[in-house]
Structure 1
Amino acid sequence: MREYLRRSARWAEAVGAAESWPFFDLGEAIEPGIHVDGDLAAEMEDFLYQNVTRGSIRNTCWGAVHWAALPPDTLAGLPALDDPYEPLLLFYERGGPFTLEGPFINVGEGMVLHKNIEDHLSPQPVTDLDAISLDYLDTNESR
């Protein structure tokens, strides 16, 4: 979660979307009205309607789909930053739902202090995202 916050903060700052950070649709922020194939959009909406009630999770799921749908030349004038959704998708795949609780993000086994965007703008990754590092975090620390 902390790595997602860091990456999304850097992207939000780069594209002028800091007011929407942290759980936002970056693809939509970069290219408003971005189109996703009708079948995929319908399947996604069906899945989210049946399985996801939290707006922040819905926004980031759509954000990941819109991010993947961005034409390659769309990012041409922007900084070469890490994929913003990779850490969050890994978090979801590993069973990591979250809730917002005041200044904290509850990630199941622990809490992450939300802070503000400036606190997450570090150019250095919070952690490696390889399976060994994530397994260690899952068993020894909060996510």
Structure 2
Amino acid sequence: MHPRSAFERLKSIDWLDDTGAFDHTGSRMALMREYLRRSAQWAEAIGATESWPFFDLGEAIEPGIHVVGDLAAAMENFLYQNVTRGSIRNTCWGVVHWAALPPDKLAEFPGLDDPYEPLLLFYERGGPFTVEGPFINVGEGMVLHKNVEDHLSPHPVTDLDEISLDYLDADENR
């Protein structure tokens, strides 16, 4: 994904209306757990476990990576108007910086999945989250985040396709 495309996805999210969070509790819980799993794998691979879980992986992999010009200004303006929580701001910058990483840099870490796709889908299905102690509030549900080691499973939590995610929401609402 190109940094501009990543920014456009972030910009299309309704950050102020959390009604989607309640309609998509099941999928958002699974997507958050999948983000925690993937980001834990990356944090361990690059030696950044102390920054986990809501950090800018692009910056951690390629210190000093930046988006420039009008995209940087648009991103700052967007965050100023829509995103107040530091953990979410970090991950939004992480999404854009991740998209700016050169493919050869990512090739140094074979077998690791894009850490931000589950989080982008999470945001798209209902906006932000809040952290309350060891829990991540995702609307009508909570996800426990202990430490990196607890999230290092090699097995995905969920498929990221819309049918699978909708099934999780329907199952949650039964």
Same fold? TM cut 0.5: yes
Is 1:134 the counterpart of 2:165? The answer is yes
Match of 1:29 among 45, 50, 60: 60
Match of 2:138 among 103, 107, 125: 107
% same residue: 87
- Mark the runs of 5 or more structure 1 residues left unpaired by the alignment: none
**1:77 alignment partner in structure 2:** 108
Shift of 1:92: 0.5
**In angstroms, what is the RMSD of aligned CA positions?**
1.3
Shift of 1:86: 0.2
- 2: CA distance between counterparts of 1:130 and 1:76? 24
Post-superposition Cα deviations, 1:111-137, rounded to whole Å, max 9, x if no partner, equal 001111101001110011110111122
Match of 2:86 among 39, 50, 55: 55
Post-superposition Cα deviations, 1:9-67, rounded to whole Å, max 9, x if no partner, equal 00000011100000000000000110213111111110000000011110000001000
Contact 1:96 1:108 in 2 (8 A): no
- TM-score of the aligned structures, taking structure 1 as reference length: 0.94
Higher relative contact order (CA 8 A, sep 6+): 2
- TM-score of the aligned structures, taking structure 2 as reference length: 0.78
- Mark the runs of 5 or more structure 2 residues left unpaired by the alignment: 1-31
